[in-house]
C-alpha cells in the first residue's frame, strides 16, 4: 500500500484506534477542525504532549522582515506570518493529586474519530493513574459552521472502581511556547511572544483576554464560558492574568459517576475596532453559544453538513480507501472556506503553520474548482477577497513596470511576501488563474452578479497586465517572455505554454466581459481600443511545438535541453535537495504538471492525438516533487485512456495526508491536493468539463472502481451523476421548470427534473500504450511510502505544496 495504513478505511470517519506519539504531528493536522474563520489543531485536550500547538484566526498575522544576502529593486521587504493565537482548547485533568498524562500511568485505550458527517472530533480514553485510580474520559470537539466565532468541547470524566477527587482546569493561554522547526519554508517563521496583552476580564463562568500583535497592530479577543453538570456538590473558580485565564472545577466522583464540563470558547479580531467593542463581540458570541448549548451546536453542525453532503458527496464502489480519502478531502476543503468570508484560503487552510499561512495560486487553481461546484458561496467570497487586495496588486504591477494588477505569489494581507524571485515574482500565471476562477464561477453557477460586483474589474486589470508584459514579434506572433510556469524546475523561461494559453484565455474573458457590460467597462476606464488589442494578442499567442517529436514544448526550446540522468536517483527526496537549480533549470526534468496542466485547463487547444502524445512524453520526465501534480496527471491519464495509471495518481493525490506521503503533514494539510483528489475522480473518471456554461460528461471507470456517483451544483440546480462500467445516468434533483443542456459523450441533450438521461458507457481505446515514469517514480498503490522530504530537510524558499 502507499504509506502505512494508520487509519482503517471507513466511509464516513477517520479513526485512530490507538495513540502513536511518533505520529502526533501529522494527526494534529489530520484531525484539525476549522470553519474558515477559526482553526484548531488536534492537540490533545490537556495540551501535552504536542508536536505543534496551534490555534489560528484567518488572516491574523504578524509582520517580519525579509532578509536578503543581496537585495534588489522590487524585492519585498516585509513578510507576513500566521500567528498562533490564544489557545482556548486546553482542558487539564487531575485524578486525586496526579495529573492525567498519556505517557504516564497505564493507558488502557485511546481512540480518536473525525466524524465527517457530524463535523466533530471525538476522543475516548481509558486510563489508570500511577496510584491505581482508573477513569474514563470522553470528549467531543467542534468548530461551529453556524456560529462563526465559536468552538466548543464537551468533556466528561467517569470514575471507575474507586471514589476519586476530580479537578478539571480549563484554560485560555496566549504566547504558547512553540518548538524550533526546520528551515523548510512550509514551516512558519518562528515568532517569539507575538501577542501583547491589552486587557482581560473575569466573567461568571470564564474569562476574556485581549491581545495585540507587536508589528502588524492587529487586535484580537478570546473568551471562554463553561456549563458544569455534576452528580453532587462541586466548586468552581476563575482566575485571570495577562496571558492566561483558568476556570477550575473540583468534585468527588463515586464509581460510575460522571462530571461533565461543556467548554465554549470564542474569538474575534480586527485592525480598526476598539478593545471594548472586541470584548463585547466575544462576550456576545459566548452568550449565543451558551443559549444554543452543546446539543444545539452539535445539531446545527450536523444540519449544515447534511446540506453540504447532499450536493457534494462522491460515492465510490470497489475502493474503500479512495472513498474515505475523497470525503476526507471534501470535508477539509469545506472547513477551509465555509466561513472565510472575504479572507484568503491558505495553502494549508487553518490546519498548521506551513508556508507561514500564506495563500498561493493553489486557492483559485485547485480549491475553487471544487468549491464552485459544491459550495459556490465560499468560492464567491474568495474572489471577493482577491478583489479586496486589488490596490496592492496594482501597486506591485507598477513596481514591476507593468500595467494593470499583479497579484502576489504568496500573501496573507495582499502584499507580496515571496522572497524567491524565480518562483515568486516570475510566476505571473497566478493572475490568469485568478481570472479563470472568475470566469468559471460565472459559467458554472450562472451567477452574473459577482462579475458586476468585482469580477469585471479583476478581468480588466489582469488583461492589462498581460498586454503590457507580452509583445508581438515581427511576424505578428504574441509572446510572453521571462516567466516561470507551474514547473519550478524550469524557471524564468520564454513562452511557457501554460502561461501563454492561460494569458490568452484571460485576455478573451476580459474582452467578452467588457462587451457584456460596456457601461461598467467605461467606468473602469476601458478605452475603445483595449478589448480589440486584447483579442488580437490572444489570437496571435505563440504555442511552442516540436514538429520533429510531435509534441508541444513546455516552453520555447524545452525539448532541445539535455535529458536528466535518473541513474542512481533516490525518489525519497526532491531533486532540489540533491542538485543545484543551475542543473535543474537547463535539463528536461519536470517538477510538477505544467504542460499537462495546460491540457487539463485549456482542453480545447489540443487534439486528442496531441493530448495522448504529450502525456506520453511528459510522463517520462515528471518527478512530482510537488503535491499539486498527481491530481492533474490523474485527470489527463484518464482522458487519454490510461485508467489504471489514473487510478494510481488519484490515490496519491487523495492520500497525501492520510498516509503522510511527503512527510510534512505535521505542518498542515495539502489542501490543493485534497481538492485535486475530487478533480481526479470527478473530472478524471467522471469526465466532467465545462464548455461555455454547459456541463460536459464522459464517465469511464478503472477496473478497481465498480461504481461512481457524484453530486454537484450547476446553474442553480443540483445534479446527480451515476456510472458503472456499462451505463451512465444523469439526473436533475430540483428546478422543476429548469431545462439544463448537457453534453454526454459528445451528444447534446437537455436535462429536466424527473426525467434522467441514460446512456451506455462509450469506451475509449488509448492511442498509445501506458507511458513509463522516471525510474522509481511510478505511482504504485502497492509501493511503500517514502517520497517527499523529511521534516528536517532544508528547502529553498519556494517549493511545491
Number of neighbours of residue 433 by Cβ within 10 angstroms: 25
Q: What distance in Å separates the CA atoms of residue 692 and residue 715, rounded to the nearest whole number?
A: 12
User: CB burial class (10 A; 0-12, 13-18, 19+) of residue 450?
Assistant: buried
**Which cell numbers in the block locate residue 185?**
519554508
Residue 355's nearest CA partner among 345, 364, 363, 346 is 346
Q: Is 552 helix (H, G, I), strand (E, B) or coil?
A: strand
Please give the Cα distance from 184 to 443 (Å, whole number): 39
**Residue from 62, 488, 569, 683 carrying the catalytic annotation:** 488
- For 344, the grid coordinates are 484568503
DSSP-derived secondary structure for 377-428: HHHHHHHHHHHHTHHHHHHHHHHTT-SS----SSBSSSS-----GGGTTT-T
Interacting residues of 164 by C-beta distance below 8 A, sequence separation 6+? 95, 96, 133, 135, 252, 253
Please identify which residue in the block is written with the cell numbers 467606468. Answer: 523
Write out the DSSP string of 321-334. HHHHHHHHHHHHHH
Is residue 488 among the annotated active site residues? yes
Q: Which residue is associated with the grid cell 444554543?
A: 292
Which residues have a Cβ under 8 Å from the Cβ of 684 and sit 6 or more positions away?
634, 635, 637, 638, 639, 646, 650
- What single-letter DSSP state applies at residue 633? H
- Extended strands (E) in 59-119: 61-65, 78-82, 87-95, 98-99, 106-115
* Pairing, β 545-546 against β 478-479: unpaired
Cα–Cα dist 269/281, whole Å:
9
CA dist., res. 398 & res. 430, Å (int):
17
Give the three-class secondary structure for 503: helix
Q: What is the DSSP string of 706-759?
A: -EEEEEEEETTEEEEEEEESSEEEEEE-S-TT-EEEEEETTEEEEEEBTB-EEE
334: nearest Cα among 375, 386, 385, 384? 375
DSSP letter assigned to residue 504: H
* Spatial CB neighbours of 366, under 8 Å, sequence gap ≥ 6: 628, 631, 671, 672, 673, 675, 676, 679
C-alpha grid cell, residue 549: 517529436
Mark out the alpha helices in 135-224 (DSSP H runs): none
CA angle at 392 for the pair 386 and 394, rounded to the nearest 5°: 95
Bridge partners, residue 699, by sequence = none
Catalytic residues, by residue number, are 488
Amino acid at each position: 500500500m502507499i504509506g502505512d495504513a494508520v487509519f482503517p478505511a471507513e466511509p464516513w470517519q477517520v479513526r485512530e484506534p490507538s495513540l502513536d506519539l511518533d505520529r502526533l504531528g501529522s494527526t494534529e493536522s489530520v484531525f484539525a477542525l476549522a470553519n474558515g474563520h477559526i482553526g484548531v489543531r488536534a492537540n490533545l485536550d490537556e495540551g501535552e504532549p504536542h508536536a505543534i500547538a496551534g490555534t489560528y484566526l484567518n488572516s491574523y498575522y504578524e509582520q517580519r522582515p525579509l532578509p536578503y544576502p543581496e537585495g534588489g529593486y522590487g524585492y519585498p521587504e516585509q513578510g507576513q506570518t500566521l500567528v498562533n493565537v490564544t489557545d482556548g482548547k486546553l482542558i487539564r485533568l487531575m485524578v486525586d493529586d496526579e495529573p492525567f498524562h498519556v505517557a504516564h500511568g497505564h493507558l488502557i485505550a485511546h481512540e480518536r474519530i473525525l466524524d465527517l458527517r457530524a463535523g466533530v472530533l471525538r476522543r475516548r480514553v481509558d486510563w489508570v493513574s500511577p496510584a491505581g485510580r482508573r477513569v474514563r474520559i470522553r470528549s467531543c470537539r467542534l468548530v461551529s459552521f453556524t456560529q462563526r466565532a465559536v468552538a466548543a468541547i464537551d468533556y466528561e470524566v467517569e470514575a471507575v472502581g474507586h471514589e476519586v477527587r476530580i479537578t478539571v482546569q480549563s484554560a485560555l493561554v496566549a504566547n504558547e511556547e512553540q518548538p524550533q522547526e526546520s528551515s523548510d519554508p512550509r514551516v512558519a517563521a518562528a515568532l517569539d511572544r507575538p501577542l501583547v496583552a491589552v486587557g482581560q476580564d473575569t466573567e461568571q463562568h470564564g474569562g476574556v483576554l485581549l491581545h495585540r500583535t507587536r508589528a502588524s497592530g492587529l487586535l484580537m479577543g478570546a473568551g471562554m464560558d463553561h456549563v458544569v453538570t455534576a452528580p453532587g456538590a462541586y466548586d468552581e473558580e476563575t482566575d485571570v492574568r495577562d496571558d492566561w485565564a483558568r476556570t477550575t472545577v473540583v468534585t468527588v466522583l463515586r464509581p460510575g459517576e460522571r462530571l461533565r464540563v461543556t467548554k465554549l470558547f470564542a474569538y474575534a479580531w480586527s485592525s480598526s475596532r476598539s478593545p471594548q467593542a472586541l470584548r463585547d463581540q466575544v462576550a456576545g458570541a459566548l452568550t449565543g453559544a451558551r443559549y444554543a448549548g452543546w446539543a444545539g451546536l452539535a445539531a446545527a453542525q450536523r444540519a449544515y453538513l447534511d446540506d453540504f453532503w447532499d450536493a457534494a458527496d462522491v460515492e465510490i464502489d470497489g475502493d474503500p480507501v479512495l472513498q474515505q480519502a475523497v470525503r476526507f478531502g471534501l470535508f477539509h476543503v469545506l472547513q477551509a472556506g465555509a466561513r472565510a468570508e472575504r479572507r484568503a484560503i491558505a495553502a494549508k487552510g487553518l490546519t498548521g503553520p506551513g508556508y507561514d499561512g500564506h495563500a498561493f495560486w493553489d486557492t483559485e487553481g485547485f480549491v475553487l474548482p471544487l468549491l464552485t461546484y459544491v459550495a459556490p458561496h465560499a468560492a464567491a467570497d474568495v474572489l471577493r477577497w482577491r478583489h479586496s487586495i486589488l490596490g496592492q496588486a496594482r501597486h506591485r504591477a507598477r513596481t514591476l513596470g507593468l500595467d494593470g494588477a499583479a497579484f502576489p505569489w504568496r500573501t496573507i494581507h495582499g502584499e507580496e511576501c515571496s522572497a524567491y524571485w524565480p518562483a515568486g515574482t516570475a510566476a505571473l500565471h497566478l493572475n490568469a488563474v485568478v481570472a479563470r476562477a472568475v470566469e468559471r464561477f460565472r459559467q458554472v453557477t450562472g451567477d452574473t452578479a459577482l462579475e458586476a460586483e468585482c469580477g469585471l474589474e479583476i478581468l480588466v486589470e489582469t488583461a492589462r497586465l498581460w498586454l503590457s508584459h507580452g509583445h508581438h514579434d515581427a511576424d505578428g506572433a504574441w509572446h510572453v517572455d521571462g516567466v516561470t510556469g507551474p514547473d519550478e524546475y524550469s524557471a524564468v523561461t520564454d513562452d511557457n505554454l501554460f502561461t501563454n494559453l492561460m494569458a490568452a484565455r484571460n485576455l478573451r474573458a476580459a474582452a467578452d466581459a467588457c462587451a457584456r457590460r460596456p457601461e461598467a467597462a467605461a467606468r473602469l476606464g476601458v478605452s475603445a481600443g483595449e478589448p480589440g488589442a486584447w483579442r488580437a494578442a490572444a489570437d496571435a499567442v505563440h504555442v511552442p511545438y516540436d514538429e520533429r517529436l510531435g509534441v508541444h514544448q513546455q516552453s520555447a526550446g524545452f525539448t532541445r535541453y539535455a535529458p536528466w540522468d535518473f541513474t542512481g536517483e533516490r525518489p525519497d527526496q526532491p531533486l532540489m535537495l540533491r542538485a543545484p537549480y543551475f542543473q535543474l533549470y537547463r535539463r528536461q526534468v519536470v517538477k510538477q504538471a505544467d504542460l499537462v496542466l495546460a491540457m487539463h485547463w485549456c482542453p480545447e487547444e489540443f487534439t486528442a492525438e496531441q493530448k495522448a502524445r504529450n502525456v506520453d512524453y511528459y510522463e517520462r520526465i515528471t518527478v512530482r516533487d510537488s503535491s499539486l501534480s498527481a491530481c492533474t496527471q490523474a485527470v489527463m491519464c484518464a482522458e487519454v485512456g490510461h485508467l489504471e495509471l489514473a487510478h494510481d495518481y488519484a490515490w496519491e493525490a487523495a492520500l497525501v495526508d492520510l498516509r503522510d506521503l511527503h512527510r510534512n503533514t505535521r505542518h498542515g494539510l495539502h489542501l490543493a491536493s485534497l481538492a485535486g483528489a475530487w478533480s481526479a475522480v470527478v473530472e478524471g473518471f467522471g469526465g466532467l468539463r465545462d464548455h461555455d456554461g454547459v456541463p460536459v460528461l464522459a464517465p469511464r471507470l478503472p477496473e478497481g472502481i465498480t461504481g461512481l456517483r457524484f453530486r454537484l451544483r450547476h446553474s442553480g440546480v443540483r445534479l446527480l451523476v451515476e456510472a458503472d462500467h456499462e451505463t451512465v445516468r444523469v439526473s436533475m434533483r430540483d428546478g422543476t421548470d429548469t431545462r439544463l443542456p448537457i453534453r454526454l459523450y459528445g451528444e447534446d441533450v437537455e436535462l429536466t427534473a424527473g426525467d434522467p438521461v441514460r446512456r451506455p458507457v462509450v469506451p475509449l481505446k488509448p492511442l498509445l500504450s501506458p507511458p513509463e515514469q522516471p525510474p522509481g517514480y511510478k505511482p504504485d498503490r502497492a509501493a511503500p511510502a517514502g517520497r517527499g522530504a523529511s521534516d528536517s530537510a532544508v528547502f529553498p524558499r519556494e517549493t511545491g505544496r
